[in-house]
Amino acid sequence: MSALLDIEDLEVTFGRTAAVRGASLRVEKGETHCLVGESGCGKSVTALAMMNLLARGGHRSARRMTFAGIDLLSLPDRAMARIRGNRMSMIFQEPMTSLNPAYTVGSQMAEVLTRHKGASRAAALDRAVELMGRVGITAPQMRLGQFPHQLSGGLRQRVMIAMALMCDPELLVADEPTTALDVTVQAQILRLLASLKREFGLSILLITHDLGIVARVADRVSVMYAGEVVERAPAAELFRAPQHPYTRGLLSCVPVPGRVRRDRPLGSIPGTVPAIAPGFAGCAFRSRCAHAIEVCEHDIPRRPAGGAHDYLCQLLPRERAEPQPA
Amino acid sequence: MLRLIVRRLALGVLVAFTVMTLAFMLTRLSGDLAISIAGPQATAADVEIVRKAYGLDRPLYVQFFTWVGRAAVGDFGQSYFFKDSVASLIARRMPITLTLGLVGLSLALIISIPLGILAAIRENTWLDRAVTMFTMVGQAVPSFWLALILMIVLGLHLGVLPISGTGTWQHFVMPGIVLAFTAIPALTRLTRSGMIEAMASDYIRTARAKGLSRARIIFKHALRNAAIPVVSIAAVQLGFMLGGSIVIETVFALHGVGYLGWESIAKNDFPVVQAVVLVLAAIYIGLTLLADILNALLDPRLRAG
């Protein structure tokens, strides 16, 4: 079965800076796929490149990039606009500023349906009310006439989600949808996404840096580092047996009740994501990796780790036998 | 919304009163009115007669409140020079100034808004740089020079437009163009920077993610937010066009309110000066209120007052 979204060797550059360097990503139908990594590792840029929403000056290329069998690379802008908001939609990290302050919630939601499905305004507003109810917005009829500044951050993100669902998309890209919200609202939004996935058969590409979220919602995980996908695995498998030193480092940074020993410091990864100069070769993590050796400066093979699990590392598991992560 | 209008109106009345006080005081400060009205040949006795006749012998505050009270009902007194009521003088000149101002503003908006949008969506291309160059040159050109060049080219050489006077609508084309040029550079740059800011905003990214057409993104989602500073400045510019077009009214021999004000200052015709200042202030106040209302219609966040 072919994947709903299949990206192979995506490269995104802004001038001479490479933001994404050969990232490969497959999102299957009906799965929640988490794209994980530190700030600046290229998660959002990967999603924006796929949606053809890169900011000015961004340039993308890839060996393959298909969505439901459609080649996104050769698709003209107008045809892509017909897919965006319709068959794939996106919600963002900034619920406070992502809605247009000058128009009512109803008008902004309705225009998606009138644009893509040729629906009448009245039908579109009915659909907006229905979806607002589905995403847990109280008094949806009243919300139609309200402006974004009259809603809280959690409500605005729900409006964004409802708006993204207007045309029954196959894929929802959620870029850190809960980062700007407080913890209780965060939990509500995550539960909502999980139930929408079940109800609508939606595939979700969830971008996050929060491994707690990954553990709760992900079916599969891709870990990104410095513009590359360094490890891909089913979620349970990734948490059980992380292979890449970066993934292991990330996991050691998260306290797990019952497993963390209070007398040992919580793990951390020294340093920050390096800027990658053009012509860089080898493993981008080697400057922060405790096991780096000379071979890490050469091209790194993708190693299988059983089933759908693989990772980018030169070292064999026994070569990086390390002290038990704290 | 109503609260906003009421508050701005109250503020406007306060501003108008301040302007009246200032206009009154400044004209009194500029010398003895009785002497200048009586003329250079007048004897001391003549001056005293004039002083009594015009009520200038009364205490200042009595004169002031008498004037304010009459002005409130539209009676600005008699012109010393024109031998006509000030109200009818202004009423006769106002249509010329209004026509000129509206023609100027319309031309300015028709040219600067599309130009600003074009420059913004083609940011950092040759087109954007050409627009920036045009606005800089436009800012630097003095209006009397542009007026003379237009007169020579369009009036004398091509003979397509009349050079001076107010007879037909064609008479307002050239002065309108010159007046528009005083506003085009600022309005173009404001539109451009507002559009650039809007196009880089999160809600435009959302609009693109929704798959909306480019035209709808630019004209519906971005322009409405970019228009707010443009509306505010356009209102001020129109006020300036109505009050400050003395040079253009003089060059094209259009006898509007600006020209009247200038004439009466030169002739010490103080009732007219005070009234012109007050009318222009009232126009500014009205335009600012109009801009506030328009902006509140454009951006719901401004409706709270």
* Range A124-139 average pLDDT: 93
> What is the structure's pLDDT at A322?
53
Q: A70-101 burial string, b = 16+ CB within 10 Å, else e?
A: eebeebeeeebbbbbbbbbbbbbbbbebbbbb
What fold, for A29-54+75-87+172-326?
A: Rossmann fold (3.40.50)
| Of B202, B209, B213, Cβ closest to residue A51 | B209
Would an 8 Å CB–CB cutoff place A151 in contact with chain B?
no
Report helix angle B173-199 to B143-150, nearest 10: 120
Edge-first strand listing for the sheet containing A310-312: A88-91, A171-175, A203-208, A32-36, A220-225, A228-234, A310-312, A302-304
| Residue B30, token pair as written in the block | 């500029």
Write the CB contacts of A159 (distance below 8 Å, at least 6 apart in sequence): A99, A105, A108, A109, A132, A137, A143, A148, A151
| Residues A197 and A32: beta-carbon distance below 8 Å | yes
Yes or no, beta carbons of A100 and B203 under 8 Å apart: yes
Q: How many angstroms separate the most distant Cα atoms in chain B?
A: 85
> What is the structure's pLDDT at B84?
86
SS3 content of chain A, % helix, strand, coil (to 5): 35, 20, 45
Model confidence at A258, pLDDT cuts 50, 70, 90, reads low
Yes or no, beta carbons of A56 and B300 under 8 Å apart: no
Considering only CA atoms, which of A237, A88, A82, A242 is closest in space to residue A171?
Answer: A88
In DSSP notation, A141-209 reads HHHTT--GGGS-HHHHHHHHHHHHTTT--SEEEEESTTTTS-HHHHHHHHHHHHHHHHHHT-EEEEEES
| Residue B74, token pair as written in the block | 């539209």
Distance separating alpha carbons of residues B185 and B140, to the nearest angstrom:
10
Report helix angle A183-200 to A153-164, nearest 10: 10
Q: Residue A67's beta-bridge partner residues?
A: A5, A70
Model confidence at A326, pLDDT cuts 50, 70, 90, reads very low
Distance separating alpha carbons of residues B159 and B170, to the nearest angstrom:
12
Could you report the per-residue pLDDT of A67-96, keeping only the tens digit for each? 999 999 999 999 999 999 999 999 998 989
pLDDT tops 90 at residue B38 = no
Residue position matching structure tokens 């919630």: A105
* Range A168-194 average pLDDT: 88
Closest A-chain CA to B297: A102
As a whole-number percent, the residues of chain B with pLDDT over 70 amount to 99
pLDDT tops 90 at residue A111 = yes
| Of A53, A111, A160, Cβ closest to residue B212 | A111
Alpha carbon distance, N-terminus to C-terminus of chain A: 40
Identify all chain B residues contacting A99, using CB atoms and an 8 Å cutoff.
203, 206
* Range A227-249 average pLDDT: 91
The pair phi, psi for residue B117, each rounded to 5°, is: -65, -45
Report which of residues A256 and B52 the model is more confident about: B52
Helix (H) or strand (E) holding A214: helix A211-217
Would an 8 Å CB–CB cutoff place A145 in contact with chain B?
no
**Domain coordinates of chain A in residue numbers?**
29-54+75-87+172-326, 95-166
Which SS3 state, helix, strand or coil, does residue A19 take? Answer: strand
Considering only CA atoms, which of A24, A29, A31, A14 is closest in space to residue A50?
Answer: A24
> What is the structure's pLDDT at B132?
94
Distance separating alpha carbons of residues B210 and B196, to the nearest angstrom:
20
Would an 8 Å CB–CB cutoff place B83 in contact with chain A?
no
DSSP B218: I
Q: Residue A18's beta-bridge partner residues?
A: A13
pLDDT tops 60 at residue A321 = no
Alpha carbon distance, N-terminus to C-terminus of chain B: 7
Q: B57-86 burial string, b = 16+ CB within 10 Å, else e?
A: eeeeeebbeebeeebeeeebbbbbbbeebb
B297 CB-side CA count, 13 A: 9
ipTM of the complex: 0.88
Helix (H) or strand (E) holding B61: helix B60-72
| Residue A240, token pair as written in the block | 């059980």
Q: A146-183 burial string, b = 16+ CB within 10 Å, else e?
A: bbbeebeebbbbbbbbbbbbbbebbbbbbbbbbbbbee
Yes or no, beta carbons of B211 and A111 under 8 Å apart: no
- Range name among A124-128, A169-173, A191-195 with the lowest pLDDT average: A191-195
pLDDT tops 70 at residue B192 = yes
> What is the structure's pLDDT at B37?
74
Identify all chain B residues contacting A53, using CB atoms and an 8 Å cutoff.
205, 208-209
| Residue B301, token pair as written in the block | 């966040």
Distance separating alpha carbons of residues A159 and A109, to the nearest angstrom:
8
Distance separating alpha carbons of residues A264 and A246, to the nearest angstrom:
20
DSSP B85: B
Would an 8 Å CB–CB cutoff place B207 in contact with chain A?
yes
Yes or no, beta carbons of B123 and A56 under 8 Å apart: yes
AA letter at B265: I
| Residue B187, token pair as written in the block | 């309005």
Could you report the per-residue pLDDT of B135-180, keeping only the tens digit for each? 999 989 988 899 999 999 988 888 888 888 777 888 888 999 999 9
Considering only CA atoms, which of A68, A98, A74, A99 is closest in space to residue A86?
Answer: A68
Residue position matching structure tokens 């996991």: A251
Considering only CA atoms, which of B113, B104, B107, B103 is closest in space to residue B224?
Answer: B113
Report which of residues A121 and B265 the model is more confident about: A121
> What is the structure's pLDDT at B107?
95
As a whole-number percent, the residues of chain A with pLDDT over 90 amount to 52
DSSP A324: P
Q: Give the distance from residue B135's alpha carbon to the nearest chain A alpha carbon, in angstroms.
A: 25
Write the CB contacts of A262 (distance below 8 Å, at least 6 apart in sequence): none
In DSSP notation, A82-128 reads HHBTTTEEEE-S-TTTSS-TTS-HHHHHHHHHHHHH---HHHHHHHH
> What is the structure's pLDDT at B16?
87
Q: How many angstroms from the chain centroid is the CA of residue B44?
A: 42
Total residue length of chain B:
305
> What is the structure's pLDDT at A284?
85
| Residue A270, token pair as written in the block | 């020294």
Model confidence at A158, pLDDT cuts 50, 70, 90, reads very high
> Range(s) for CATH 1.10.3720.10 in chain B?
93-299
pLDDT tops 50 at residue A128 = yes
Sort A54 into a burial class: Cβ within 10 Å, 0-12 / 13-18 / 19+: middle
Which SS3 state, helix, strand or coil, does residue A20 take? Answer: strand
Mean pLDDT of chain A: 88
| Residues A8 and A24: beta-carbon distance below 8 Å | yes
Compute CA distances B15 → A68, B194, B279, whole Å.
65, 30, 12
Query: In a mutagenesis test of the B interface, which of A51, A98, A109 is the best target, namely the one with the most B β-carbons within 10 Å?
Result: A98
Could you report the per-residue pLDDT of A188-210, keeping only the tens digit for each? 888 888 888 888 889 999 999 88
Q: How many C-beta neighbours within 10 Å does residue A1 have?
A: 5
Class of domain B93-299: mainly alpha
Residue position matching structure tokens 């892509």: A80
Could you report the per-residue pLDDT of B62-113, keeping only the tens digit for each? 888 888 888 888 888 888 778 788 888 889 988 888 989 999 999 999 999 9
Model confidence at B305, pLDDT cuts 50, 70, 90, reads low
Q: Give the distance from residue A104's alpha carbon to the nearest chain B alpha carbon, in angstroms.
A: 9
| Residues B209 and A93: beta-carbon distance below 8 Å | no
> What is the structure's pLDDT at A320?
60
How much is the pTM?
A: 0.84
Q: Phi/psi zone of residue A307: left (φ > 0), alpha (ψ -120 to 50 degrees), beta?
A: left
> What is the structure's pLDDT at A259?
65
Q: Residue A66's beta-bridge partner residues?
A: A6, A71
